[in-house]
Amino acid sequence: MMYPFLTLDDETEITHSEFLDTDGVKVYVEKPDEKDGFHYLSCWLPEYRVIENHGFNEAEVEKYMEIIRSTAHLIIEFSKEGGFEHASGF
């Protein structure tokens, strides 16, 4: 299951999986694109290992990975609690 985490001003969505004991957390970044439909990127935490990239250039990958690095502690915490809504008590 994927949980919503963050929506950026440019309509980019960042979601994450539940915490998987063997692998960690999968993070998925998706941005609408007029030509291709969507550009997407996925990576694993805590290694920050990019496993898939469709449509993002190097600068964009670095930008999104910096966002992921700076919020990884929250993503990991929320992944163990069933997403933001469950972790925050909303």
From CA 7, how far away is CA 4, in angstroms rounded? Answer: 8
The pLDDT value given to residue 1? 86
The pLDDT tens digits for 62-83 are 999 999 999 999 999 999 887 7
Output the 3-class SS for 67-89: HHHHHHHHHHHHHHHCCHHHHHC
The pLDDT value given to residue 7? 96
C-alpha distances in Å from residue 84, one per residue of 2, 48, 55, 63, 78: 11, 20, 28, 22, 5
Kindly give the parts of the chain with pLDDT less than 70.
84-90
Give strand pairing partners of 32.
38
Number of separate helices (H) and strands (E) present in the chain: 2, 5
The pLDDT value given to residue 81? 84
